[in-house]
Structure 1
Amino acid sequence: MSGTIFHLGEKFVQEQSGERTMALRNEGIISNQLAEGAVIFIQNQKIFFASSMDDRGMVWASVLTGEPGFLKLDEDHHLILDPALLRSSPGDIFWTNVRNGRGVGLLFIELLTRRRFRVNGHIFAEAGRWRIQIDQAYPNCPKYIQRRQLISNHGESPPPARELEGWMKQADTIFVASADTDGDLDVSHRGGDTGFIAYIDEQTLRIPDYIGNSMFNTLGNFHVNPAAGLLVVDFTNGQTLQLSGKAVVHLDEEPGNVITGGTHRFWDFKIEKSVYSQSLFDFSSRFIDFSTFNP
């Protein structure tokens, strides 16, 4: 593929970070279809993560799950979502947003093996199901993923906690939604040691940007479109915190209240909306270990 696959925002951050050459080397992994191994991996995942955009242009990150067959491949360039097999919250904002037939980003991540795969495309209603046209599909490295084993939990969960600072103090994993100026969406993973996100105040979080694949899909989107969504999952009971707002990117600073692992990059998340809910049912996990790549 040629270097034109990256948009202006991605190119800007690549150049400012001195990683443009590495980004061009890595772009060859991006395709508009799924190889057999990727299909098997995706269809074996019990949960996955999605980004969507509402009518106001705000972006959201969500977690979805369903019975076997909830998500399946239909030809090399399309995935099919069957809402009849949904097992996560039917009230998630994702289902309202996709009625607009806009872009969608998907992230499949197997916490136990630290494997992950991203699919970006466009979603359309079709005979009671949802067809996702694959525009970009590519694997991601295992860095910063904390290993967990997903297990069933048939006990009742308490109401979701509604204290932002408490959620941030306990978080070692978040999921970030972003979009470019054309409404093309992406959702990515960010991980670190417990409390790696700095709580600044009730409207501001500070997230470090560690060494990655040099493509800067998320920060590149933020450069041209500051709309940002953030999802935190309580892996003990399936409760979630969804936030939507704006991102302010810092490419060459090292503040005292966040560790960037030497990149001198971070972004401030300005919160405009928040939703606390029970997104996953009969859900829990067993923590195994932190990533050895965490700064």
Structure 2
Amino acid sequence: MDPYHHGSLAVQDRVGVREQAAHVGRSIGRGIKPVAAAFLGLQPMLVLGAADGDGRMWASLLTGEPGFVRAAGPHSVSVAGQVRAGDPLRSVLGAGGTPVGTIALDPRTRRRMRMGGTARPSARGLAIETERVFANCPKYLQKRELYASGPAGGGTAEHGSRLTAGQQEFIRSADTFFIATGTPEGVDASHRGGSPGFVQVTSPTGLGWPDYPGNAMFLTLGNLETDPRAGLLFLDWSTGATLQLTGTAHTEYSGTGRSVRFTVDQAVETRAASELRWSEPEYSPANPSLG
């Protein structure tokens, strides 16, 4: 069965990578292999993407001691706890039968693993039945060390429909963010990385970033080809603050490459959303120069 829907196939054809994508797509499976289960058990954070009750797409952060995410079977993942109180996805994840995409990214090893499926509440927190499981290459991942745990959950969420001056500066300085997109076939959560400044703020409601060459799957751009909804998550690695954005995105193609334009509908900033404290980054050697 083809692992790609028509949106991804259309982008692959436009870029001319259908054959390469078909080869890479063989890595997408339903099952969680032992090496993937071992990787999950070491992770202190998981990013989850889903649509809220009004259909808006969000990306949210879950954290815990290693083992809080674990394989509960060949096609299921158990997550201890829930997204924090006040998170835009809190109520929908409590309802059950929610299509989700997740990414476990380990800055310490520059490894990442993506899973998509359906989430429901469980006695432990969340149970995810997986439909797509695969790993990605380490391109554009910044290396960081986990050096401390601080307070979490004490910060109140600040809501808005436009980016504040501080939020704009925070985004301009980011070297990493997470993006959730979806179609009727399911939800995907992915990562984007680059040197600080690779995300441009064009207005209080507008962002843009280059789409760097990757694994040729074009899952994110393929979803946006058919459904413009997107959710972004920016993380302050040193303080645990998060900035979640929901809105719409589209891809622009030119002779020099591709870029994505994102329009903000809502923003949620939460201080000390995460207890994890990470070191300053060692930037990926794959990051293109911004000059």
Q: Same fold (TM over 0.5)?
A: yes
Distance 1:196 1:249 in 2: 16
Structure 2 equivalent of residue 239 of structure 1:
241
Identity of aligned residues (%): 32
Q: Would the alpha carbon gap of residues 138 and 22 (structure 1) be closer, same or farther in structure 2, given more than 3 Å must change?
A: same
Letter in 1 for 2:37: V
Q: TM-score, normalised by structure 2?
A: 0.90
Deviations 1:74-107 (A, max 9, x none): 1100011232xx6x73332232222252211110
Structure 2 equivalent of residue 259 of structure 1:
none
Distance 2:150 2:53 in 1: 36
* Equivalent position to 1:166, from 143, 164, 169: 169
Counterpart contact for 1:16–1:251, Cα < 8 Å:
no
Q: Secondary structure of 1:176's match?
A: strand
The gaps in structure 2 that reach 5 residues or longer are 159-163
* Equivalent position to 2:128, from 132, 142, 160: 132
Deviation at 1:245, TM superposition (A): 0.2
Structure 1 equivalent of residue 194 of structure 2:
192
Deviation at 1:168, TM superposition (A): 1.6
The answer to whether structure 1 residue 148 and structure 2 residue 149 are counterparts is no
The gaps in structure 1 that reach 5 residues or longer are 255-263
Counterpart contact for 2:86–2:157, Cα < 8 Å:
no
Letter in 2 for 1:185: V
* Equivalent position to 2:277, from 259, 281, 284: 284
Q: TM-score, normalised by structure 1?
A: 0.89
Structure 2 equivalent of residue 49 of structure 1:
47
Structure 2 equivalent of residue 95 of structure 1:
90
* Equivalent position to 2:181, from 178, 183, 199: 178
Q: Aligned runs of 1:23-62 on 2, under 5 Å?
A: 23-62=21-60
Q: Would the alpha carbon gap of residues 169 and 158 (structure 1) be closer, same or farther in structure 2, given more than 3 Å must change?
A: farther
Where do 4+ consecutive residues of structure 1 move more than 6 Å?
155-161
Deviation at 1:229, TM superposition (A): 0.5
Counterpart contact for 2:155–2:272, Cα < 8 Å:
no
Deviation at 1:130, TM superposition (A): 2.2
Deviations 1:160-208 (A, max 9, x none): 89523211221010100000134x1111000000010111101110011
Q: Would the alpha carbon gap of residues 277 and 26 (structure 1) be closer, same or farther in structure 2, given more than 3 Å must change?
A: same
Distance 1:283 1:74 in 2: 25
Distance 2:146 2:209 in 1: 26
Letter in 1 for 2:116: N
Distance 1:155 1:126 in 2: 26
Aligned length: 280
Deviations 1:261-292 (A, max 9, x none): xxx10110010000000354433111241111
Letter in 2 for 1:186: D
Distance 2:122 2:175 in 1: 37
Q: Secondary structure of 1:74's match?
A: strand
